Amino acid sequence: MRVFLLCLSLAGLTCMAQEQEQPPPLPELPSYPAATELTARSSGEVYFSSVTPGDYKWLVLPDQALPATTVKARLFLPADASAIKPVPAMIILHGSGGILPSREIAYGEWMASHGIAGLVVNSYAARGVTEDTPYALRVAIVSDADEVADAYSALKFLNQHPAINSKKIGVMGFSYGGMATRAALDNRIYQNLAANVAPFALHLDYYGPCHFDLQTIKTTGAPLFSLRGAQDKSNDLEACARVENRLRDAGSDIGSTIFPTAGHAWEMDSTKQFVATLNPAPCHQVLMKNGDWQLDGNTIAVPALTGRQQKYQFRLGLLGQMKQTCMSEGYIMGEDEQTHKLSNLLLSQYTTAYLLNEKE
Domains: count for the chain: 1
For residue 120, tell me if it sits in a domain: yes
Q: Residue 45 half-sphere exposure, CB side, CA atoms within 13 Å?
A: 5
In our burial notation (b when 16+ CB lie closer than 10 A, e otherwise), range 132-168 reads ebeebbbbbbbbbbbbbbbbbbbbbbbbbbebbbbeb
Is residue 83 in some structural domain?
A: yes
Query: What 3 state SS string does 92-107 have?
Result: EECECCECCHHHHHHH
Query: For residues 145 and 151, is the Cβ–Cβ distance under 8 A?
Result: no
pLDDT tens-digit series, residues 318-341? 999 999 999 999 999 999 999 999
The whole-angstrom separation of Cα 327 and Cα 234 is 10
**Predicted pLDDT at 12:** 42
**How many whole angstroms separate alpha carbon 140 and alpha carbon 47?**
23
b/e code 298-334 from CB counts within 10 Å (16+ = b):
ebbebeebeebeebbbbbbbbbbbbbbebbbeebbbb
For residue 20, give Cα distances in angstroms to 6, 16, 317, 324.
10, 6, 11, 15
Whether 175 shows a pLDDT value over 90: the answer reads yes
Instruction: Name the pairing type of β-strands 293-295 and 285-287.
Output: antiparallel
Residue 316 belongs to some domain of the structure: no
- Spatial CA neighbour of 168 closest among 222, 108, 248: 222
Residue 143 covered by a domain = yes
Task: Note down the domain range covering 88.
Answer: 32-274+336-356
**pLDDT for position 360:** 56
∠ Cα 313 315 317 (to 5°): 70
CATH classification at residue 218? 3.40.50.1820
CA distance 157 to 47: 9
Q: What is the pLDDT of residue 17?
A: 35
- pLDDT bucket at 64, cuts 50 / 70 / 90: confident
Q: Which of 35-39, 117-121, 306-310, 311-315 has the lowest mean pLDDT?
A: 306-310
Alpha carbon 189 to chain centroid, angstroms: 13
Within-domain flag for 58: yes
pLDDT of residue 21: 65
Residue 309 lies in a domain: no
Q: Does residue 10 form part of some domain?
A: no
27 pLDDT above the threshold of 90:
yes
pLDDT level of residue 7 (50, 70, 90 thresholds): very low
Candidates 216, 201, 142; CA nearest to 170 is 201
Q: Are β-strands 298-300 and 293-295 bridged in parallel, bridged antiparallel, or unpaired?
A: antiparallel
- Please indicate, yes or no, whether the overall pTM of this predicted structure exceeds 0.85: yes
- 145 vs 12 pLDDT, higher one: 145
DSSP notation for 195-212: TTSPPPSEEEEES----E
Mean pLDDT, residues 190-206 taken together: 98
The lowest-confidence range among 40-49, 55-64, 69-78, 229-238 is 55-64
Residue 166 pLDDT greater than 80, yes or no: yes
Average pLDDT over the chain, rounded to an integer: 93
Query: Cα dist. 194→20, 155, 205 in Å?
Result: 40, 8, 20
Residue 284, domain member (yes or no): no
Alpha-carbon span 36 to 48, nearest angstrom: 6
Q: Is the pLDDT of residue 19 over 90?
A: no
| DSSP code, position 36 | P
Q: Residue 126's pLDDT is what?
A: 98
- Reported as a single tens digit per residue, the pLDDT across 132-164 is 999 989 999 999 999 999 999 999 999 999 999
Give CB contacts under 8 A, 24+ apart, made by 65-71. 66/149, 67/308, 69/29, 69/126, 69/127, 69/149, 69/150, 70/32, 70/33, 70/34, 70/35, 70/126, 71/47, 71/121, 71/122, 71/123, 71/126, 71/150, 71/153, 71/154
24 pLDDT tier (thresholds 50, 70, 90): confident
**What pLDDT does residue 207 have?**
98
For 263-317, write each residue's pLDDT tens digit. Answer: 999 999 999 999 999 999 999 999 999 999 999 999 999 988 778 898 999 999 9
Residue 16 to residues 6, 21, 30, 322, Cα–Cα distance (Å): 10, 8, 32, 13
